[in-house]
Chain A
Amino acid sequence: MNIIMNNKIIENDRNITQEDIQKEFEAVQRAVKDPAEFQVLYDRYFAAIFNYIFRKIDDEEITADITSQTFWKALKNLKKYKFRGVPFSAWLYRIASNEVNRHYQQTKKRVIFSFDAQEFENLIEQNVEEEHEFDIDFIIKQMRQMSESDIVALELRYFESKNFAEIAFILDITESNAKMRTYRAIDKLRKLLERREA
């Protein structure tokens, strides 16, 4: 396994410290030798991955299936995991995204984004000036005019609190591309919300 430490990425991370990431990597190495050790990572990330998948599926039972499939694939391919300076969770999010995409390819259903009402409020609070007030139905109506990739970028940045390095890793794009995509998406959302003002 390769270790590519990037201090800048780790400093930017709001939740996980460099020490945590190092400890987590050690836990991954232990799990490669003994799969029972994977439980530490499973317990730590199960709820986050479950919530992430649920946002895109909006069905509890299917979400549970895809979540267990995600962890199953992670455990099966743990030997192939390469440390790239992002938390282990980014790898799980990537597997989860692939599994969700596979689900939609198989079922040929319309993609769903199911967001918590509080999450919408946080997104607007962080990005739109205080004097503006929008109801959720209006925000959703405007967001429907955005592209799917824009919604995914907003979701990872504002609902999952991922930094750009993690977003880049999850979506398999460069960090600058992840930044550009996120800023472009938020800019587009602002413009769409301002339309009512005009």
Chain B
Amino acid sequence: MTRFDIRVRRNKFTQSKIDRHKNFQNLIGNYDLSSKKRTKGWILAVGLLIWAIALLLAYFALDSKQKKKLPDSQEAVSYNLKATKNTVYKL
């Protein structure tokens, strides 16, 4: 058996029958809609990118500020070690 089939058409397709399926207004309407969607998509993507970059920059700026404010790192470590020894502090 072949992968294809050959058929014979006895009736020709008339121009008016074909014209029933013609719809340029629909085609151009879809094109406009798609163009608008594409533009909106681009605007959204660029907006998201700017927002992400701004968020990253803000995070790094805040992080560097916090690092500057922190006391000497050696002191902080020794304080934490003391706390883990279950020492009872008298108030």
Residues of A within 8 A of B (CB): 35-36, 38-39, 42-43, 46-47, 50-51, 54, 58, 60, 63-64, 67-68, 71-72, 75-76, 110-118, 120, 136, 140, 143-145, 148, 151
Contact = CB atoms under 8 A, between A and B. Distances in A.
A112 B4 contact: yes
Interface string B20-38: 0111101110111010000
A54 B9 CA distance: 11
B86 interface: no
B65 interface: no
Contacts of A110: 3-5
B6 A143 contact: yes
B2 A144 contact: yes
Contacts, number: 87
B8 A117 contact: yes
Interface residues of B, number: 26
A48 B52 CA distance: 51
B10 interface: yes
Q: What 10 pairs between A and B have smallest CB-CB spacing?
A: A64-B21, A111-B4, A114-B7, A113-B6, A140-B6, A47-B18, A50-B18, A116-B9, A39-B24, A144-B2
Given A47-B15, A67-B21, A140 B27 contact: no
Highest count of chain A CB atoms <10 Å: which of B2, B6, B8, B12: B6
